[in-house]
A and B are shown apart, each in its own frame.
Chain A
Amino acid sequence: MSGRLANIGGPRGAAIRSQIRDITDAHRSLTIIVAMAIVGLVLPILATVPPFSIFQSLDVWLNGFSNAGVFVLLALGLNIVVGLAGLLDLGYAAFFAIGAYAYAYGASPFSGIHAPFIAMLLIGALVAATFGVLLGAPTLRLRGDYLAIVTLGFGEIVPIVFLNADKYTEGTNGIGGIYSPDLPFIEFTILNPWPFYALVIALVAIVMVFVYRLQESRIGRAWMAIREDELAAASNGLNTVTTKLLAFALGASTAGFAGVFNAAKLTLVSPEQFLSTVSFSILAMVVLGGMGNIWGVALGAFVIYTIQIVLLKQLNAFFAELHVPILQDINFVQYQFLLYGLALVLMMLFRPEGLFPSQRRKRELHSAATAEAESSAVAALDESLS
């Protein structure tokens, strides 16, 4: 029976399958682009069928997907820092903010400039990367965990600076009236979610290919070597400081990239969009998704964001409508960060490689346990011999 099932499609099917595998192995960047295109087509269709269409209309879903796309971009960028290079960045939202404000200065009536969107994407990434280098250069010379506290402080300070320097940033109100993206042939309006959706899918695909190619390059291997054993990497001739700095700056630039898109989508930037809670959300997405695995991280970010925005809010309305005695009084949105905290602790204790692990990271994170098992096996062997 089982033999028959495996043979569905006959020898021809198997041949086609192996052919597809060969193609995807040979053209992995293209595969990512095709896969993202498929995802981009499937999501709107899914949103119109029953279990999902009950929650909200297609336009609201699309808008939600675009926002989720921003978090996917952020998670992919943080994955370079945390997942690939093994550095902990707790103030990632600061670079997101810097990118967003860069766009606000480059394309809004506030500054009186209207630079093209594509140029601003690059400029936003560049500005964020510059801040990343300024912050990382003094810190990365020291032990890795200093970076965690410095970025934590940076993530706290950046919104404060944007808030307090109200002469240049409009303080709490934020900078409004930011221009929507200006791309040829497509008109971006707040009322139509489709162009933003298409744009975010394209941006995610670009960043994914970029991160993928980095990961498989010499630099990517250097990052992983540093993550797994910094001393060994250094003694093999790696300049660990510049390599780590590169990871940190590239992570920052991805956040800046996402910030530009987000500012152009919302047409408003204000300090409270970039509080440290955003950094913790992104960290939880990366850890849950599986540090070091591009698809895992992207999926983690997408699923968590969607749950957070759609399900938690809907649960409240759902229980309130049914008049469930205790459950209707619970504000599920309030529990969000408690859940993130629990997820971070439990994942690290029981499944550090994440829900969708990368093979290498999994082996590494379990190596301590393996080493212990090996040494106890050796001890048992010694005992039996003596």
Chain B
Amino acid sequence: MTSRASSSPVARRRLPFAARLAIGALIGIVLYYALLVAAQYLSNTNAPDAFNNSIKTSTQQVANALVLGAIYALVALGYTMVYGIIELINFAHGDVFMVGAFIGLFFLTNAPEPLDFLGLHLTGTIAEPVVLIVVLVAAFLVAMTFMGLVNVTIERLAYRPLRHAPRVAPLITAIGVSLILQNVMQIIVGTGDRKVPEIVPNIHVGILGAEIRVISLVIFIVAISLMIGLQVFVNRTRLGRAMRATAQDQQAAQLMGVDLNLTIAMTFLIGGALAGAAGVFQGQYFGFVRFDLGFNAGLKAFTAAVLGGIGNLTGAAIGGFAIAFVEVFSQAVGQARWSQAIVFVVLIVVLVFRPAGIFGQQIGERA
């Protein structure tokens, strides 16, 4: 009783974590927006209507960054969960994301040769809202289920036998799995870009003079819901508790009756499913997919996970958005070809000055 009495006033004064996070995110977006506007305005002050134009393009870019960030965040969650629970950098995760993008494509159009009856053979947008929603949900479910199962299979075959091997061994198999996924996909679909039918009608919503595509809103809302869902799962359910326990101390968790193999498999299932969802987003947002897009996306998502404090779910999500902000900013100031290098510099700087990540110490939860 005494402890409660002494701690409750402090707790009452602070807002709940989610609220603080939302406020912080909002402030971050506003600051970023101001930065973008300033950068664009200053770069061509003399042009007529310069201020309005810079507001317009900046709005567009913020929307772009939020969608990109949502995709990176979903991939980063897979990295961070796996690292949190078995301390393995799952190099194959970026490629799981890439395969997810292709599964989405195969479902909407047609799968390769012997299985091509499995696809919906779509070519363009779907005007009927009910059908559209059903198809979208189905595409998500197919990609998420499939990639979840693929990721579990990878864990079972390539990582589990090496759980007690020297640390370098599972890292090498991870890079091997990454090469396998990438090259199998290359053999199936070839090296070029594959066009994805953008099934959501090209309707725009006007915000601050900019035209935001509906698909952007859909992606952002669905991604945020998935992240909240994951938080609830990890913090409120029995399996989520088992995951957190395993992340803290495998042996102790096992002694408390946690099924280690099941918990780790579950982590890979969820990570793969999120990557699958991100893959479908990727296809729908950019309109094309490639066999090698997993490499860069994986590197960025991993940087996001490190930035947020690896092992930390909220951190990974915020890191994903932060990386996207950095990338879009480098595009906004006309240095798109350096964006990859800038992201890498971010990774090095974080490792030098704050290796535990931005949220590494403040939040104890890990999964």
Contacts and interface: CB of A to CB of B under 8 A. Distances in A.
A278 to B, nearest CB: 13
Nearest to B300: A153
B179 A335 contact: no
B351 A345 contact: no
Given A138-B351, A149-B302, A337-B182, A156 B172 contact: no
Interface in A139-160: 139, 141-142, 144-146, 148-150, 152-154, 156-157, 160
A189 interface: no
A196 B277 CA distance: 53
Interface stretch (B126-134, B136-144, B158-166, B203-211): B158-166
Interface centre among A157, A164, A344, A348 (most CB of B within 10 A): A348
A364 B169 CA distance: 12
B340 A156 contact: yes
Interface residues of A, dominant DSSP: helix
A287 B179 contact: no
Contact of A145 (B171, B179, B296): B171
A2 interface: no
Contacts of A337: 179, 182-183
Contact of B168 (A86, A157, A343): A86
A352 B169 contact: yes
Nearest to B341: A157
Given A154-B344, A337-B179, A340-B179, A365 B169 contact: yes
A157 B182 contact: no
Interface string A335-364: 101101111110011001000000000001
B179 A348 contact: no
Interface residues of B, dominant DSSP: helix
B215 interface: no
B34 interface: no
A342 B89 CA distance: 19
Nearest to A291: B168
B178 interface: yes
A304 B116 CA distance: 37
Contacts of A280: 175, 179
Contacts of A138: 348, 351-352
A364 B166 contact: yes
Nearest to A346: B176
Contacts of B117: none
Contacts of A335: 183, 187
A307 B344 CA distance: 35
Nearest to A334: B187
Contacts of B179: 280, 337-338, 340-341, 344
Nearest to B180: A341
Interface residues of B, number: 45
Nearest to A138: B352
B261 interface: no
B168 A88 contact: yes
A340 B175 CA distance: 10
B184 interface: yes
Contacts of A157: 340-341, 344
Given A345-B177, A368-B165, A338 B187 contact: yes
Nearest to B296: A156
Contacts of A87: 168
Interface in B37-87: 87
A223 to B, nearest CB: 13
Q: Which 4 A-B pairs have the closest CB atoms?
A: A341-B179, A344-B176, A338-B183, A341-B180
Interface of B: 87-89, 91, 157-158, 161-162, 164-173, 175-180, 182-184, 186-187, 295-296, 299, 302-303, 306, 337-338, 340-341, 344, 347-348, 351-352, 355
29 contacts: A87-B168, A88-B172, A138-B352, A139-B348, A142-B355, A146-B351, A149-B302, A150-B351, A154-B344, A156-B299, A156-B340, A164-B337, A227-B166, A287-B172, A335-B187, A337-B182, A338-B180, A338-B187, A341-B176, A341-B178, A344-B175, A345-B173, A345-B177, A345-B180, A348-B169, A352-B165, A352-B169, A365-B166, A372-B164
